[in-house]
Amino acid sequence: MKTVLLFLLVLSVSANAQNLKIEYQVRFNDMYDRGRNDRLHTGYLLISGGLSRYFTIEKEKYKPKNEHDILIMPDTANQVFINMSTGMLVSQESDIKGKTFFVSDSLYPMKWEIGSEERKIDSLKCVRAECNFRGRKYIAWFTTEIPLPYGPWKMGGLPGLIVDLQDSDENMLVKLKSISNQEQSLAMPSVIKYSKEEHVAEIRKLLKRIKDNARASSTGDCVTCQQQSVVEFFAWEKIPQ
Amino acid sequence: MRWVVTVFLLLAVLGSNAQGRLLKGSLLDPGGLPVQGVSITVRYTDSSKILAFGISRADGSFLIQNLPDGLRQLIVEFRHISYETRQIIVNSDVPGWVSGHQIQLREKTEALKEVVIKREVPVLIRSDTVVFNANSYRDAEVRKVEDLLKKLQGFSVDPNGRLSFNGKAVEKVLIDGDDLANKAYQLITRNLDAVTVDKVEVINNFSDNRLLRNVEESNKVGVNLKISSRFKSKFSGGLEGGLSIERRYNADMNTIYIKERSKWLMFGSYNNVARDPAGNSGYYYQQEAGQVSEEESGLSGPLVLESGSIVLPSIGEKYTRDNSDLAFAMMNSWKIGKHVRLNGLIGYQDLSMKNRAESWVQTEISNQDQWYVFNAMNIHNREKSLEARVSLQRDGGKNHITAVDLILNGIRQKNLFSNWSGGAVNDSLLENLENGMEGVRLNWKESFLTGGKLLQLLLDVGHNQADQDLTVRSTRYLQYWGLDSSYKFNRQDLAKKKNYCLATVRINGKTDRLQYEYGIRSEYQALGYLSNGLISSLAPKPDLVIGEVAADTRKFDLKAMSKLGMDGIARGWLGISGEVGWETFSTGSVENNFLSYRGGLGYVKNISLLSALRLNYTVRRGFDQYDKFYPDELISGNGLILNGLRFKEPEFSHGLIVTVNSNNLYRQRNWAANFSTMFMPRRYTGGVEAKPEYGIQFFELTHVNKQLNAGFNWEGYLKIIKGKLGGRFSFNSGQYESVVNSIKGVSARAGLRIDGWWVSGFRGAVNSEIKSSVLYSTGRWNRGELNRNWQYEWSFKLKIKPRESFYSALVWHAHKLSQKMVFHGLDLYASRKLGKSLQLTLTGSNLLNTGRLLDKMVMPYSRSETGYVLVARYLLLSINCRF
C-alpha cells in the first residue's frame, strides 16, 4: 500500500512540474584563502520533477604556473544531485589522486537570515539573504517571482530561486544567466561511497597521515637540522578542527 | 488518532514557548494530491519584508516557525511554478492556525517563461592578469580610453597621460596583444574612443619579450586593450566638431581597423580648448640610451596645491589662453610573414600657445631682501615635431626572437617672448628662441632561450643633433641692485651633435625558488659643441663679441651587473642587485676616471596578486645624465650661452622606500601606505648664465638633499553612504644644504596635506561628488624667518542623468592657493544622444571665474607669489558621431 501511494505522489509531481535548465555564470577562485586565481565557469542546474542536478563546465582552462602546480578539485563545486522527495543531497567529491566518488549530505541545512534589502536584477525583484555554511558566510539574492527552492551548488531552501550567490570573500560568485525549458531525464547516483561525516573523517585521517609523514621525513640523518614541515590544508567546506 | 493529537499539542507547546509562534498545514492540488516544493512566505500586510518562510514537503505538509509576536495581520503566500499563487490573511495571535487545514492550489495555465538575464562580471582576476569588463565602467563622462582607465580601481593617470596601476608605472598599452605605440601610448589612450574597447587586461609581471616572461619576475605592468568584436574586420571611427562664440573650436577624428593579420589606428585633433591629444609623447622618443631622469630637487614635494581644473597661464605651460594644437598620428601592426610582424608609427604635432598675461611677482629672498615686479607679458611658443618608428619582430613561437627598432624624430621650436616690467625692475625685453633637434636611433635585440636560460644581446646606436639660436633685445634697469646695466642686443647660438652606442649582453635564468641575471654593458658617448655669441650694449659699455668656440666631451664606461632573487625568504621574495663599472668622462683635455656602482636590496611579500609589502633600499655612486656637464671651454669662454655645470666628481647617495598596498577589486576597496627617505649629495662647479649686467660668474656648488615622505590613502565603497569614500594623508619634509663658493645655506620645509572625497552612487537620476584638499606647510629658507601657510581647495559636482540619452554635470570649485586670494569657478558638461551614433555636447569652462589667481612657488633660495588674470572662459557646443 505504501508503495502504491509513493508511486502516485511522484507521478502527480512530475505531471505538474516543468523540466528546466537554469544557467549560471560562475567565477571561482581556485586559490581561495591563499591568493587569487579566478576562472570563469558555466554552471547548469537541471530540474525535472523532484530531482535536480547542478554541475559546472569551465570556460577557461586552469593554467599551471609551473610543472609542480597541479590542480586537484577536492571540493564539491562541480556536481550536486538533489532529490526533493526524499530530502537527499549527493555531491561529487574527489580524492587526492583526482578519483571521483559520491558523498551523501543533508539537504539545505543552512539557516538563512532574510533581510529587508531588495534589488532588481534585470527584471527580477530579488531579496537578500545570508547564511553561514561550513566555515564561510554566503550572501544570496533570491526571487520569489520564480518559486523554486533551488540554487547553485548546495545552496537552496529559500522561498524562491537563488539569482545571485557569493561568499563574503568573493571567492565564489554565481550569477543567474538564463532559464529555459528543456526535456531531460535525471537520476540520482546509484553508488554512494560515504556519508558526509564519514568523508570528513577520511579527510582527517589523510591529513594526519600527511603530517606524520612530513614530520618523519624532516628528521632523517641530519642531526643538526631544525627544520619542521608545515602542512596547511585548505578546503572549501572547512573541516572542523 | 490519539497519537496524532498528542503530537500536535506537543508541537503547539514547543512552538509557543521555545520556537515562537508557528503555522502548519498541507497543500493539495485540484485532484487532492499533495503538492511538494511550494514556497511559503509570511509577511505583514503592510510590508514586503519576509518574516518567515518554508517549503512544502513531499506529503504536501509545511511548518513555519518563529512567527513574530503581536496582533498584526499577516499575509501567508503560497507560490509554485505550476500553480497559481494564493494568499491567505491570518491574525498573528492565533498559534498553530493552519493546522489541520488543507489548502488547495489551482493549476496554472501558463508554464514558466524563459528568462534571460543580461549582465557581465565587471572584474576578474586570472592568475597574474586582472580583466576589467569595459561595459561595466562606461558612463556618460567616458569618451576616450583614458577616461575609462581613470574609472578602474587601481589606475592613476598623470597630467601627461602616463599610467600607473597599484603604484607601478605601466610600460606599454597593447591593442589585442600587439604593441602599436611603443612608449607613446598616450596616443592610444587619449584618442581611441572607449566604446571600441571590450576588455581591459592589466598584466602584472609584464615583459616586452615573450621569452623573458618565463625567466623573470619583472614586477612591471602592461595593459592590453581587447577590441570589441563589433569593431573588427571593418573600418570604423568617430568624428567630433565643436565651436563656441568665444572663437574656441575642437575637431577630433579617430579611426580603427582591426583584422587578424593587420591592425591600423589613426588619430587627428585640432583644437584650442586645451585638449592635449599626444600627452608630450615626443619626450619619450627623445630619451636617449642609458639616460634616466633622477630626482634632483631637495625641495620638491606637494607644497603647492595644483589646481586640477584651472589652467594656469604661466610661462612654459603649453595650454594657457590661446593655444591652437594640431596633432596627427597613424600606427599599424602588420603580419608580413609567417613569423614576422612589422609595426610602424608616424606622428606629427604642431602646438602653438599665445599668452598675454598680466602678472605680479612678490619675491622674498630673505627678510630684508624683497622685491616686487609687475609684468605685462606676451608669449608665443610654437613647437612642431615629427616622430616615426619602424619596428620589425621575428618570432617563430619557439626559442629565438629578433626585434629591430628604427626611430626617427625631429622637433622645431620657436619661442617669442616680450615683457614689460615695472616696480623693482624696469625692463623691456624681446626674446626670440629657436630650437631644433633631429635624431635617428637603431635598437637591435636578439633573444635566445636555451636550457632554461635566456641570452639577450642588445645593441643601441644613435645620432642626434640639436641647435639653439637665441636673440634678445632689451633695455633693463635693475633698481634693486642699483645697477645701470642696459643692453640692447644679445645673440647666442649653440649647435650640439651626439653619437652614442650601447651594447649589452645579459643572461637570465630561473629555478623554482631562484631567479638570477648577470651580464656586462658598455656605453660610448661623444658630444660635440659649437657656440657663437655677440652682446651689443648701450654706451658706455663696448660690444662683446664671443666668437666661435668649439669643444667636445666623451664618455665611456664598462659595467658588470648582476641580480639575484630568492623566493621563500621570510615567506616573501628577496632580491639583491648590483652594478659596478669603470667610467671615463673627458671634457677637452681633462679626463676624469672613477669607479661607479649601484646596489639594491629589495623584499617583496605578496599578500595577494594586488596586495603586497615592498621594501627597497638603494645605494649609488655615479651619474645618469652627462649631457648637463659642459666642456670647460664653453663655460669659461662663453658663459653667456650656457648655464652649464662643470663635472666635479660623483657622489654617494642612498634611499629607502617602503610601501604596503592592498587593492581589493571585488569589495571595491583599496589602500596604500608608503614611507621613503633619501639622502643625495651633489657637488658641481659651473658657470652662471649671465646677463651682461652681472658679467660671467663662477661658482662651486655642493648641495645635500635629505627627504622624508610618508603617506596613507584609503578608498572604498561604503554601502551605508551609498557611495565611494576616500581619503589621503601625505607628509613630506626636506632639508637642503648648499655651499656656494664657501657660503653655506640651509633650507628646510615640511608639508602636511589631507585630501578627502566622496562620490555618490545613488540609483536615482541625481548624484554628486565632493572633493576637498587642505595643505599646511612650513619652511625656513636659508636661515630666514619661519614661514607658515594654509591652502585649500574643494569642488562640488552635481551629476544629473534623468534618462539614458541625457547627462549633465555642473562643477563648482574653489581654491585658496595663497593667503591672499580665493578663486571660484564653475564648469559645465552636458550631453544628449540624438541617435545610436550621434551625440551633442556642451562644455563650459570657468563660467563664473572671478579674475585673479595667485600661484605660489617655493625655491631653494626664495619664495615667490605670482598673480594671474584668468580669462579662459568659453561655452563650446560639439557634435560627435561614430561610423
What are the tens digits of pLDDT across the range A45-70?
999 888 999 999 888 777 666 555 55
Per-residue pLDDT, B381: 78
Answer whether A35 sits within 8 Å of B48, measured CB to CB.
no
Answer whether B53 sits within 8 Å of A27, measured CB to CB.
no
Per-residue pLDDT, B457: 95
Point out which residues pair with B176 in neighbouring strands: none
Per-residue pLDDT, B653: 81
Q: Rounded to the nearest 5°, which phi and psi values hold at B682?
A: -145, 150
Across the interface, which of B55, B82, B119 has its CB nearest the CB of A175? B119
Is B264 within 8 Å of chain A by CB?
A: no
Per-residue pLDDT, B139: 85
Structure-block grid coordinates of residue B13: 507547546
Residue B685 to residue B363: CA distance in whole angstroms: 26
CB contact at 8 A, B250 and B241: yes
Structure-block grid coordinates of residue A229: 614541515
Point out which residues pair with A100 in neighbouring strands: A94
Q: Could you read off the pLDDT of A75-108 as tens digits, one per residue?
A: 445 789 999 888 899 998 877 777 788 999 999 9
Point out which residues pair with B496 in neighbouring strands: B466, B529
Residue B118 CB coordination number (10 Å): 9
Q: Could you read off the pLDDT of B574-591 as tens digits, one per residue?
A: 889 999 999 998 887 778
CB contact at 8 A, B768 and B798: yes
Per-residue pLDDT, B317: 32
Specify the 3-state DSSP secondary structure of B636: helix
Distance from CA of B382 to the nearest CA of A (A): 51
Q: Which has more confidence, B758 or A207?
A: B758
Q: Which has more confidence, B42 or B160?
A: B42
Q: Is pLDDT of B393 > 60?
A: yes
Answer whether A50 sits within 8 Å of B606, measured CB to CB.
no
Give contacts of B80 with chain A, Cβ < 8 Å: 147
Lowest-confidence region among A227-231, B335-339, B857-861:
B857-861
* B616-635: average pLDDT: 77
Give contacts of A12 with chain B, Cβ < 8 Å: 29, 31, 33-34
* A112-119: average pLDDT: 89
Distance from CA of A202 to the nearest CA of B (A): 31
Q: Which has more confidence, B285 or B561?
A: B561
Per-residue pLDDT, B635: 64
Is B127 within 8 Å of chain A by CB?
A: yes
B682 closest CA partner among B628, B618, B617 = B628
Distance from CA of A49 to the nearest CA of B (A): 10
Is A161 within 8 Å of chain B by CB?
A: no
Task: Report DSSP state, residue B631.
Answer: P
Q: Could you read off the pLDDT of B740-795 as tens digits, one per residue?
A: 666 777 778 788 889 999 999 887 889 999 999 888 888 776 666 777 777 788 89
Q: CA Rg, chain A, in Å?
A: 21
Percent of chain B residues past pLDDT 70, beyond the cut = 76
Cis peptide before B540 (omega within 30 of 0): yes
Q: Is pLDDT of B391 > 60?
A: yes
Residue B678 CB coordination number (10 Å): 18
Distance from CA of B450 to the nearest CA of A (A): 17
Cα A79 to its chain centre, rounded Å, is 7
On the 0-12 / 13-18 / 19+ scale of CB atoms within 10 A, B639 is buried
Per-residue pLDDT, B820: 55
Residue B413 CB coordination number (10 Å): 16
Chain A residue with CA closest to B117: the answer is A177
Q: Is pLDDT of A230 > 80?
A: no
Q: Is pLDDT of A195 > 50?
A: yes
Predicted ipTM of the assembly: 0.83
CB contact at 8 A, A79 and A54: yes
- DSSP letters for B215-278: T-----EEEEEEEPGGGBSSEEEEEEEEEETTS-EEEEEEEEEE-SSEEEEEEEEEESSS--SS
Give contacts of A29 with chain B, Cβ < 8 Å: 125
Task: Report DSSP state, residue A221.
Answer: T
Specify the 3-state DSSP secondary structure of A61: coil
Q: Which residues contact residue A170 at a Cβ distance below 8 angstroms, ignoring those fewer than 6 apart?
A: A29, B666, B667
CB contact at 8 A, B719 and B509: no
Distance from CA of B18 to the nearest CA of A (A): 17
Across the interface, which of A38, A160, A181 has its CB nearest the CB of B114? A181
Give the dihedral sign, CA A105/A107/A111/A112.
positive
Residue A77 to residue A94: CA distance in whole angstroms: 11
Structure-block grid coordinates of residue A192: 554512494
* B331-351: average pLDDT: 89
B529: left (phi over 0), alpha (psi -120 to 50) or beta: beta
**Where are the strands (E) in B368-486, listed by range?**
370-395, 400-423, 425-450, 453-478
Q: Could you read off the pLDDT of A27-37 as tens digits, one per residue?
A: 888 878 777 77
Residue B45 to residue B40: CA distance in whole angstroms: 15
User: pTM, whole model, 2 decimals?
Assistant: 0.75
On the 0-12 / 13-18 / 19+ scale of CB atoms within 10 A, B787 is middle
Per-residue pLDDT, B207: 85
